[in-house]
Chains A and B, each alone.
Chain A
Amino acid sequence: MYIYLPIAEMPVNIFLVLSLGGITGLLSGMFGIGGGFLMTPLLMLMGIPPAVAVSSSVNQMIGASFSGFLAHLRRANVDIKIGTIIVAGGFVGSSVGVWLFAMLKKIGQIDFAISICYVIFLGAIGSFMAYESINSIISKKKGIKKASPDKKNWLLELPLPFVTEFPRSNIRVSGILPFAVGLVSGVLSSIMGLGGGFILVPAMIYILGMPTSVVVGTSLFNTVLITANVTILQSISTHTVDAVLAMLILTSGVIGAQFGTRIGLKLPAEQLRAMLAIMVLAVVIKLGLGLVITPESPYSMLVLEK
């Protein structure tokens, strides 16, 4: 069965779109990521124009992450205080990112920039997470009880002002750090068309030293607000938000996210991180090969709106 997408201006197989949403939603709930780094490339593979794919998957991420966020909120797994500071940084960062995106698009380098960003940032994060989680799985098996070694990272040692107590996370850091984390993830997530969880989750664990239990909920809190902001910005500036497409992937996505959240709560944190690392690295390899392998056609085309 086919359904016509009004903004993408093309028909799509409704079952294909629904299963795409369901699977991404499941992963999104499990790992506290928006799922955009899977959703956006998959939508493009279906033939949806890249700009529409980016904006619409950002739109659906609002719902998927809101659903996950509420589930975590009920279990009090959200640090609203530090989350608010991260979101503030995220708003500034995503505005800068949207501007950068427009500039790169104008000079025809946006696709390259997206791929390079994926390879560099996801590659680094994925490798580090894989290394770290495998280590902790091994030491857990050997019965070695290690105090989290990452608590002593040099960023936390910096003599920064505005040192604040965050009781929910049980940490004491300068407010500048979460703001900077939000800023960087905001820039990168708007260039890459993502919710930002893929940077936030590891940044909160390894840079801010937050406990894993609150990281996913707090990341979802940020994702809801940043994706809402980007959806409205894209609606105004590029008219590329296909609400029908977003609602289709959202319907199955929220259901998937509910299951994902349940699975995520049952799995040990190291295993969760190891699985996320494998997925991230798979996407990195796919995109990295795309940069290196001779393309089928070296030409690409853009229709200029009148």
Chain B
Amino acid sequence: MKESNITYLFLFALLLCFIFPSNSSARPVIADLSLRQIEIDSGFTGTDVLLFGARNDPGDIVVVVRGPEKSYIVRKKERSFGVWVNKKQMFLQDLNGFYVVAANRPLEAIQNDYLLDSLKIGIDSSALPKEGEPTADYTEFSQAFLKKQQSENLYLPSVQEISMMGDTLFRTVIRFPENITRGVYTAEIYLFSDGQLSGIQSTPIIVSKKGFDAVVYDFAYKYPLLYGIIAVSIALLAGWAAGQIFRKV
């Protein structure tokens, strides 16, 4: 289905919601994005995605956008014999490479930290281990991970604003910086009322490469030997060509 068709359908659905505001079969929260597919090309410097929607029940809206899960090794340098050397290390499994939270009120207003933690909502719960309580070491290294991601604008330390228009409509803008990686991202829209989850919607955002860069990237992974040979040949050719040009000057 085309992007525009989805938008029309969505607008139609919105319209229905207004005509039958107390329709019990309506979903508690519904939302769409201005962009569901982000294509990275040579000129890519990041992009803004508008997320907009409506709630059919009262409550707090929270939006979480997560990037693909990856595993990380975080190492810590310590001084020994006067020089700084990597000593301790920690393996952090399946953490999102990108993480942004937006909400219409501060997250504390939901008053259910346990639920927020289990849904991994909020910067402090975003790097929790999959199972069990984090150890002191884990916390230390995951904090270092968060700091690094924040410095690259891949995690946002503060909760972004969701602006409400009237009682039902809401909108927020999610910034995808220039250094995002490929993969399937998800935009999760939660509705909380009285500290309980009363509605949820999850929409994928596909980040892919486009054009010449995508061709180069795929080629490098599919035919690594040929890629290497071509890289060598072009370099030799360029070196020879420069020599020829300069010889005549």
Contacts and interface: CB of A to CB of B under 8 A. Distances in A.
Interface string A289-303: 001101101111111
Interface in A251-306: 251, 254-255, 257-258, 291-292, 294-295, 297-304, 306
Nearest to B238: A63
B71 A306 contact: yes
A2 interface: yes
Interface stretch (A81-89, A160-168, A211-219, A241-249): A241-249
Contact of A62 (B43, B179, B235): B235
B179 to A, nearest CB: 5
Contact of A239 (B42, B145, B224, B246): B224
A250 interface: yes
Interface stretch (B10-18, B73-81, B186-194): B73-81
B175 to A, nearest CB: 15
| Chain A interface size range | 35 or more
B236 A63 contact: yes
B144 A236 contact: no
Interface residues of B, number: 60
A70 interface: yes
A239 B181 contact: no
Contacts of A291: 83-84
A47 to B, nearest CB: 9
B148 A254 contact: no
Majority SS at the chain A contact face = helix
Contacts of B70: 303-304, 306
Interface string B201-219: 0000000010011101100
Contact of B178 (A10, A74, A244, A292): A10
B72 A244 contact: no
A299 B235 contact: no
Contacts of A68: 239
Interface stretch (B56-64, B106-114, B225-233): B225-233
A7 B220 contact: yes
Contacts of A5: 213
Given A2-B45, A292-B83, A298-B77, A231 B232 contact: yes
The 6 nearest A-B residue pairs measured at CB: A235-B228, A66-B239, A254-B242, A232-B228, A67-B239, A63-B235
Interface of B: 40-45, 70-79, 82-86, 89, 97, 141, 144-145, 147-148, 178-179, 181-182, 209, 212-214, 216-217, 220-221, 224-225, 227-232, 234-243, 246-247
16 contacts: A7-B216, A9-B182, A11-B178, A67-B240, A67-B242, A71-B246, A112-B86, A231-B231, A246-B235, A247-B235, A255-B242, A295-B77, A299-B77, A301-B144, A302-B75, A303-B71
